[in-house]
Amino acid sequence: MVSDAAATEPHAFGMQNKPAAEVAVGEEAVLPLIAETARIDKRAVETGRVRVSTRTETVEEVLRETLRSDMVGVTRVAINRTLAEGEVPPVVREKNGVTIIPVLEEILVVEKRLVLREEVHVRQTTAGEDVEMPVTLRRQHAVIERVSPEGHVTALNLAETPEIEP
């Protein structure tokens, strides 16, 4: 048998040790209902950092290329031939890879005659020369390190880590 009357009486949450109200037949009683709710909060927590730096290295290389140069040799060939009356003066022409440029002169005689004084023969030759020139090339590499909140540094291989989350 229970001696405490409050322990056997029904009571609302948070109202311990208070007697329950009695409701007569035909009367209405309103009972408060209690519900619990859950709430989620977010906060940023630093788990580490990522440090990216670049290193530049130099590589000595030798460039090789063939340079082409053209040279011209000029030869003067004396002709000293008087052109006949009505003869067409010679024009610039090419023969066996040689450009021939006629040089004409008018001379005063009792009559005017055209005399071919000389021809200038221009021969073009081509020579090649291989040259080497040392050059310095620079190449950069990215060095990526993860720094933990405690300050521990871990180098990361970029090929193994396509995406890094902070």
State residue 1's pLDDT score.
45
Residues 94 and 119: their CA atoms lie apart, in Å, by: 12
Map 50-115 to HEC letters.
EEEEEEEEEEEEEEEEEEEEEEEEEEEEEEEEECCCCCCCCCCEEECCEEEEEEEEEEECCCEEEE
This prediction has a pTM of 0.37
> What proportion of the chain, given as a percentage, has pLDDT over 90?
20
Could you identify the residue written with the tokens 């020579």?
Answer: 127
Answer yes or no: is pLDDT of 13 > 60: no
Could you identify the residue written with the tokens 């109200």?
Answer: 21
